[in-house]
Amino acid sequence: MIPAQFDYVRPASLAEACQELGSDEDAKVLAGGQSLLPFLRLRLAYPSKLVDIGRLADLRGVHDRGDHVHIGAMTTHDEVMRSPVVREGCPLLALTAAQVADPAIRHRGTFGGSLAHADPAGDLPAAVLALDGVFVAASASGEREIPAAEFFVDYLESSLRQGEILAGVRIPKLGAGWGFHYEKFHRTAQAWAIVGVAAAVRRSNGSIAEARIALTNMGPTPVRARAVETALQGVELGDQVRQACVEAAADTSPPADLHAQPDYRRHLAKVLTDRAVRAAAGAP
């Protein structure tokens, strides 16, 4: 890797890290480095300073907080996918983290880094959006809560402000009767999702009582498929599910790239949403 020159600091406290970031608008947070380092390597980013938060132990770990699960930003994907607290309280995140890239990246890459990077092709943003996670941003002036629906602003752009660090995410626990699935469509195991669908579905008496669907790589940010969520309410598990998913690509603006054109992504969103919903509901 031959990046351009940058300064490097490794603060011992969150407060110090916030101060380093607040004083330099071209500074960047270095967490697991799995997104930032490729950008540096390709000289797509020229940060003046990297603020390495790798030693901030308080930011790492998963905690059961009764009505929600708190996941520290520096928790690795591998820790998320193996955490009993995650598997019990918000299994969709364990299912999704297990599909991020490959084992090497999952051991380095962090939950918070993946979210703060705000890449709509990342897997975790859609999953956290589907679960209505609450982002906790730390700064010199304290903590600020940001609902998932407001966190992702544009391509590679979050609502974090200068001097703020994503400290963790609170994932509200869903009650009994919910099922989960992350349907990732990609050409090779290590490739980005062409389209991904995160689904949480509550069943009641053979029908879908409630569904939350979010889509990966269908626009500049992860998006909730609200039209499908509405259409699925009360739908019996069976052929009707597919019909309810036809609007999956409504209000999306999927990108064109080497792997897919927008019309193909819209088609995939419908097919994959149907599959994700049925898998989440435990239906064939």
Please give the residues from 1 up to 60 whose contact with other proteins meets the rule CB under 8 A: 2-5, 38, 41-42
At 85, is the secondary structure helix, strand, or coil?
helix
Among residues 131, 194, 200, 201, which is the contact residue for other proteins, using CB under 8 A? 194
Q: Does 104 bind other proteins (CB under 8 A)?
A: no
Query: Which has the closest alpha carbon to 173: 68, 72, 276?
Result: 68
Q: Does 74 bind other proteins (CB under 8 A)?
A: no
- Contact status, residue 165 vs residue 18, Cβ threshold 8 Å: yes
Classify each residue of 182-210 as buried b or exposed e, where b means 16 or more C-beta atoms within 10 Å of its C-beta: bbbbbeeeeebbbbbbbbbbbbeeebbeb
Q: How far is the CB of 217 from other proteins (least distance, A)?
A: 13
Query: Which has the closest alpha carbon to 64: 83, 81, 92, 82?
Result: 83
Q: How big is the site for other proteins, counted in residues (CB under 8 A)?
A: 25
User: Which of residues 6 and 19 has its CB atom nearest to other proteins in the complex?
Assistant: 6
Q: Does 271 bind other proteins (CB under 8 A)?
A: yes
Among residues 84, 149, 187, 243, which is the contact residue for other proteins, using CB under 8 A? 187
Pick the piece of the chain touching other proteins (CB under 8 A) from 26-34, 49-57, 154-162, 262-270.
262-270
User: Which of residues 164 and 274 has its CB atom nearest to other proteins in the complex?
Assistant: 274
Among residues 19, 64, 264, 283, which is the contact residue for other proteins, using CB under 8 A? 264
User: Which of residues 226 and 267 has its CB atom nearest to other proteins in the complex?
Assistant: 267
Nearby residues of 124 by Cβ (< 8 Å), 6 or more positions away: 77, 93, 96, 97, 100, 111, 114, 115
Q: How far is the CB of 190 from other proteins (least distance, A)?
A: 6
User: Which of residues 41 and 55 has its CB atom nearest to other proteins in the complex?
Assistant: 41
Rounded (5°) CA angle 148-151-154: 130
Among residues 88, 161, 191, 251, which is the contact residue for other proteins, using CB under 8 A? 191
Three-class SS string for 239-250?
HHHHHHCCCCCC
- Contact status, residue 276 vs residue 244, Cβ threshold 8 Å: no
Strand order across the beta sheet in which 207-216 lies: 178-185, 195-204, 207-216, 223-224
Among residues 272, 276, 277, 281, which is the contact residue for other proteins, using CB under 8 A? 272
Q: Does 185 bind other proteins (CB under 8 A)?
A: yes
Name the residue with tokens 């989440």: 280
Ramachandran sector of residue 10 (left: φ over 0; alpha: ψ -120 to 50; beta: rest): beta
Among residues 205, 239, 258, 284, which is the contact residue for other proteins, using CB under 8 A? 258
End-to-end CA distance of the chain: 47
Q: How far is the CB of 189 from other proteins (least distance, A)?
A: 4
Q: Does 260 bind other proteins (CB under 8 A)?
A: yes
| Chain residues in the site for other proteins (CB under 8 A) | 2-5, 38, 41-42, 102, 185, 187-192, 194, 258-261, 264, 267-268, 271-272
